Structure 1
Amino acid sequence: MKTLFVSYRVTDLDLSLRFYTALGYVELGRVEAGDGSHLVILNFPGEPAASLELVHRPADGRVDVGSGFDHLAIQVDTLTVTLKTLAEAGLEPEPVQYPGGPHGPKTSWLTDPDGYRIELVEWPSGHPDGITAADFS
C-alpha cells in the first residue's frame, strides 16, 4: 500500500489556491463535482504524482478544522531560503525552531487560510528524505 495524497476541505478556493501556489504547489487538474463543488489536485514541481487535493463545497459552509487533525509536514531544501520566499509572497511563516536540538532538523510553521497547520522541515546534512526507522534507534 502507499499513501496517495492528503485532501483538505477549504472555505474559499481562490484564497486557498493563492496560498498553496505561493507555498510552491502547482495545479495538476480540477474536477467539477456538481452543486458548485470543485476538487483541485496539486503537487510540487518534480513530484511524480499528486500530493494535495483541495475540496471546495460551498453548500457545506465554512470549514471547521476541529480538534482531530494536527498538521501537514513538508520537506524543504533550505529553510532560510524558503522562509524568505514565502515572506516575499505575503505569507507569514513562524520563526525557525530546532525541535531535535542544534544538530537535528530545522522547522518553521505556517497556517493556511482555513487554519490548517503546516510544518516546514529542513533535515540536517546527510539525513535521508523523510522520517525512517533509523530516526528511532
Structure 2
Amino acid sequence: MKTLFAAYRVTDLDRSLTFYTALGYVELGRVDTEGGSHLVLLKFPGEPAASLELVHRPVDARVDVGSGFDHLAIQVDTLATTLERLADAGLEPGPVQQPGGPHGPKTSWLTDPDGYRIELVEWPPGHPEGITAADFA
C-alpha cells in the first residue's frame, strides 16, 4: 500500500488553483460531478502521479479547516529560491526556521486561501528524500 494524495475542500476553486499553481503544482486532470462539484488533481512537474486533490462543492458552506487537519509538508530543493519565487508570485511565506537546530532542516510556513497550512522543507545536505526511520534512530 501507499498514500495516493491528500484532498482539500476549497471554497473558491479559481482562487485555490491560482495559489497552488503559484506554489508550483500543475493540473493533472479534473472531474466534474453531479451537482456542480469539481475535483481537480494536481502534481508537481517532477512527480509521476497526483499528490493533491482540490475538492470544490459550491452547494456546501465555506470550508472550515478547524476539523483536525494540521498541515501539508512539501519538500523543496532550495528554500531561499522557493521563498523568493513565491513572494514574486504574490504569496506570503513566513520566515525561515530551523526547528532541528543549525544542522537540521530549514522550514517556512505558508497558508492557502482557505486557511490550510503548508510547511516547506529543505533537508540538510546528504539527507535522504522524505522522513525515514533513520530520522528516529
Q: TM-score under structure 2 normalisation?
A: 0.99
Q: SS of 2:46's equivalent?
A: coil
What is the letter of the counterpart of residue 86 of structure 1?
L
Match of 2:47 in 1: 47
Mark the runs of 5 or more structure 1 residues left unpaired by the alignment. Answer: none
The residue that corresponds to 1:4 in the other structure is: 4
1:67 is displaced (CA, Å) by 4.1
User: What is the correspondence of 1:1-137 to structure 2 with a 5 Å cutoff?
Assistant: 1-137=1-137
After superposing on structure 2, the runs of 4+ consecutive aligned residues of structure 1 that deviate more than 2 Å are none
Give the secondary structure class of the aligned counterpart of 1:135.
helix
**What CA deviation, in whole Å up to 9, does each residue of 1:95-136 have, x standing for no partner?**
000000000000000000000000000000000000000001
SS in 1 for 2:33: strand
**Number of residue equivalences:** 137
CA distance in 2, matches of 1:36, 1:92: 31
Q: CA RMSD in A?
A: 0.5
State the shift of 1:35 in Å: 1.1
Secondary structure of the 2:20 match is: helix
Structure 2 distance, partners of 1:92, 1:81, is 14
Q: Which amino acid aligns with 1:108?
A: S
Q: What displacement does 1:66 show?
A: 1.1
Cα deviation, 1:15-48, whole Å, max 9, x if unaligned, reads 0000000000000110001111100000000101
Identity %: 84
The secondary structure found in structure 2 opposite 1:16 is: helix
TM-score normalised according to structure 1 size: 0.99
Higher mean C-alpha displacement, 19-28 vs 60-69: 60-69
Unaligned runs of 5+ in 2: none
Distance in 1, Cα, partners of 2:131 & 2:46: 20
Counterparts of 2:13 and 2:56, CA distance in 1: 6
